[in-house]
Amino acid sequence: MGSVNKVILLGNLGKDPEIRYSQSGMAIAKFSIATSGRVPAGEGNWEERTEWHRVVAFGKLAEICGNYLAKGRSVFVEGSLRTNQWEDAQGQKRYTTEIVARDIQLLGSGERQSSEQGQWQGQGGQSQGRGQGQGYGQGQGQRNAGPGGRPAMEELPPQSGPPDDDIPF
């Protein structure tokens, strides 16, 4: 029997994405998304609880994130979980779990709101825009076509060292 590693998030960005480039020139975008829900607080009371999720995108999807995502913006992210391990300065093993984005859709309004909504797919998928006027990334096509004209999967670069920041804002 196979296994499934799939994450779906609908939340708000805690800060603008950070864009970096690998030695091979591939764009890497990192950002955090907050999701909220009500949880029991005892004696029939409920409280709002916020969870922060680290998200990383690669290649063309990362470039699009850098151009169109902004702090406070509502976003839908679909991807998979990846856990990284490293040793800190004291020799302790540390772990970070992040979502590797494959599909991102803009929702609602944000600080740098446009009248358009966008949807993008990464990791060999076709980037496409949706909405009024000129779409984001329209006509990008399949840059890295593999056998049979299907998109080739990009290999994810390994995470090296500790995360940049444990606080998402």
**Domains in the chain, CATH or no CATH each:** 7-38+48-149 (2.40.50.140)
pLDDT band for position 145 (cuts 50, 70, 90): very low
| Rounded average pLDDT over 11-36 | 96
Q: What is the pLDDT of residue 10?
A: 96
Contact in structure between 59 and 19 (CB atoms under 8 Å): no
Query: Does the pLDDT of residue 61 top 50, yes or no?
Result: yes
Mean pLDDT across the chain: 75
Instruction: Report the distance separating Cα 83 and Cα 96, nearest Å.
Output: 6
Q: Which of 73-82, 86-95, 133-142 has the lowest mean pLDDT?
A: 133-142
Q: Structure pTM? A: 0.64
DSSP run (H or E) holding 129:
strand 128-130
pLDDT band for position 119 (cuts 50, 70, 90): low
- From the number of C-beta atoms within 10 Å of its C-beta (0-12, 13-18, 19+), residue 132 rates as exposed
Q: Which of 4-13, 37-46, 71-80, 147-156 has the lowest mean pLDDT?
A: 147-156
